[in-house]
Amino acid sequence: MKRDKPFTSSRTGRVAAAKGMAFSKSPVLAVRLPDWRSRVVLFVLFAAFAALGLRALWLQAMSTQFLQKQGKSRYERTLELPATRGKIMDRHGQVLASSLPVKAVWAIPEDVLASPPEKLAELARLLEMPESELRKKLDSDRTFVYLKRQVEMDVIAKIDKLKISGLDTRKEYKRFYPQGEVMTHMVGFTNVEDVGQEGMELAQQKSLVGVPGSRKVIKDRLGRIVEDLGLSREPHDGKDLTLSVDSKLQYIAFTSIKNAVEKFNAKAGAAVVLDVHTGEVLALANYPTYNPNDRKKLTGEQLRNRVITDTYEPGSIIKPFTVALGLEKKIITPNTVFDTGSGRITVGGRTMRDSHPKPMLTTSGIIQKSSNVGVVKISQMIPPQEMWELYTKLGYGQAPRFGFPGPAAGRVRPWKSWRPVEYANMSFGHGLSVSLLQMARSYMVFARNGDMIPLSFVKLNEEPVGQQIISPKTAAQVRTMLESVVSPEGTASRAQVAGYRVGGKTGTAQKIVDGRYSHTSYVGSFVGIAPMSKPRFVIAVMVDDPKGAVHTGGGVAAPTFADLAASALRADNIPPDSSVTDIIIPEMPLEESVDGA
């Protein structure tokens, strides 16, 4: 019987073909590449890993500070924690300036511009700016831009409800002034960076501003805080400041000077009230003025603090000092009689005149009638150097140092350069210039029995030590003369105050226009003491360029003083020192002499 052949597959055939040969020796698996190629590949891989290791070592060990710095510059931020600016208060603790919390609105322009148009329109409305202006601010290559600073919190709440991507806020403070325009020239104001710009806000900037703190955080690309790294520095709030000013007296002074400017159609006006005992400035008012809470339409005229920064020729207000020097040197007495003739005197080719000539006047009469001729005759008995020394002691021609920004020094030329006609003019207030505050301070000499003390804009706890300028006797004699000026027979009959004895001196000076003394523009002023029995206030008033029939100090400044003094005395509860309650003003009251240099 014939056997069948066994089945043989192709796989079995391959196995049979490879029988007797090692698998690794199969020709199919034979490597035809040279051995050195594999070694090179192995070396390259090893070198690459070594390079990566060295690079990692370099970055982690040698470049740590650099990398950290680069990371911080991209994501770490230092947030300023603003310090609250100190409050400003009057002498009785009433707040005159305080800081309210507000926020600054800032944006990432690219993200905000991607918002729906209706949201951008609403944002512009809330920020009180045209939409075109908003888009202009956002049309920037910067990654951060302020849209508006010092936005009220109620507006911020409405902005937050819009949920605009890329929009954020920053905490800050806005200064608020409760008394507005009444107190602004005393207190001043700050700018959007909370830096004092005027008044006591500027003078006491370092004390008020405090020290801001800081906190470090990590922010993502969109400006969101993702990690708080902790407080770096604690903020320290500014110190509160108590001023010398009295809010009641300040309002009285402001109202009085505002009414005077409007009544006499004047260009401007100013008033200051000083405490005789301490030298504290109790009131300082200017008109025109401005509202520090809304300075959008602020002008230079409104900004000017005329009491301190403006100088003018004082005119007849200076005459009591010429007389005081004569009394102090015992050259004259209050009863010395002078021949004032026809009310004319010529010095150096120039004639000085009296408005109401009297043939004979005593020293007291010269002050009461404000005689130019009489004062010139007294000055001719005094060496010019002694007059210059008195003016210097009074602070004329020197920048005051009382801690208030921008005080004017005024002008008094060296006595050696005075010609006879110039000296004669200076004796009745022409040819030199002073500020209203300098003039008020110099009258403290008469109110304080001959000594002078520094002025202060902050509240004092004790009276300062004064410097004796003239003797108490001379000061008392001049006070008597000043009281006679405020009488029906004097040039300041309109300055009388019912129930109180007051005294002072009027002044009318011609303004210099285009290098010449004008016959149509004047400065009317008055400096007075109240009450005379026990002086409490020195009050100075200036009305600049009044227009109309009345333009003299006796006509415009004296009645303003009377209104101010009457209200101030009653507001301070000072008891009356006179039984005279009926004010007698002549139908044709005397006016002081007016003359230019």
Note whether 162 and 280 are same-domain residues. Answer: no
> How remote is the C-alpha of 47 from its chain's centroid?
72
Q: Tell me, what CATH number does 493's domain have?
A: 3.40.710.10
Residue 144 is predicted with a pLDDT of 79
Note whether 167 and 272 are same-domain residues. Answer: no
Any domain includes 560? yes
Any domain includes 427? yes
pLDDT tens string 428-463: 988 899 999 999 999 999 999 999 999 999 999 988
Note whether 389 and 369 are same-domain residues. Answer: yes
Please tell me the total count of domains within the chain: 2
Note whether 120 and 223 are same-domain residues. Answer: yes
Note whether 368 and 455 are same-domain residues. Answer: yes
533 pLDDT band, cuts 50/70/90, is very high
Question: How far from 149 is each of 98, 128, 169, 356, CA to CA, in Å?
Answer: 18, 12, 9, 62
Any domain includes 55? no
Pairing of strands 350-353, 344-347: antiparallel
**pLDDT of 8 strictly over 50:** no
E strands in 52-94: 76-81, 88-89
Note whether 232 and 262 are same-domain residues. Answer: no
252 pLDDT band, cuts 50/70/90, is very high
Q: What span, in angstroms and rounded, lies between the C-alpha atoms of 272 and 402?
A: 15
Query: Region 390-401: what's the mean pLDDT?
Result: 91
3-state secondary structure at position 108? coil
**Greatest distance between any 2 Cα atoms in the chain:** 186
pLDDT more than 70, % of the chain: 85
Any domain includes 47? no
Q: Tell me, what CATH number does 107's domain have?
A: 3.90.1310.10
**pLDDT of 18 strictly over 60:** no
Note whether 483 and 350 are same-domain residues. Answer: yes
Higher pLDDT, 18 or 522: 522
Any domain includes 45? no
Query: Region 211-219: what's the mean pLDDT?
Result: 70
Q: Answer with the one of 220, 242, 264 that is the final residue of a domain.
A: 242
Note whether 176 and 190 are same-domain residues. Answer: yes
Rg over CA atoms, the chain: 42
Q: What span, in angstroms and rounded, lies between the C-alpha atoms of 456 and 280?
A: 5
589 pLDDT band, cuts 50/70/90, is low
Note whether 223 and 337 are same-domain residues. Answer: no
Any domain includes 51? no
Residue (of 364, 397, 338, 379) closest to 487 by Cα position: 364
Q: What span, in angstroms and rounded, lies between the C-alpha atoms of 324 and 390?
A: 10
pLDDT tens string 20-43: 556 556 666 555 667 777 788 888
Note whether 347 and 494 are same-domain residues. Answer: yes
In sequence order, the 6+-apart residues with CB closer than 8 A to the CB of 47 are none
| Domain interval for residue 182 | 79-242
Any domain includes 447? yes
235 pLDDT band, cuts 50/70/90, is confident
Any domain includes 30? no
Residue 230 is predicted with a pLDDT of 60
Return the bridge partners of 458, or none. 243
Note whether 328 and 228 are same-domain residues. Answer: no
Which helix H or strand E contains 104, and what residues bound it? strand 95-107
Query: Region 90-110: what's the mean pLDDT?
Result: 91
- Dihedral angle sign, alpha carbons of residues 40, 44, 45, 49: positive
Question: How far from 51 is each of 39, 40, 64, CA to CA, in Å?
Answer: 18, 16, 18
Residue 549 is predicted with a pLDDT of 82
Residue 578 is predicted with a pLDDT of 84
Return the bridge partners of 59, or none. none
Residue 322 is predicted with a pLDDT of 96
pLDDT more than 90, % of the chain: 53
597 pLDDT band, cuts 50/70/90, is very low
Q: Answer with the one of 202, 223, 242 that is the final residue of a domain.
A: 242
Note whether 481 and 437 are same-domain residues. Answer: yes
Q: What is the pTM of this model?
A: 0.81
Report, as residue numbers or ranges, the catalytic residues: 316
Angle at 311 between CA 305 and CA 316, to 5 degrees: 125
pLDDT tens string 164-184: 888 888 888 889 999 999 999
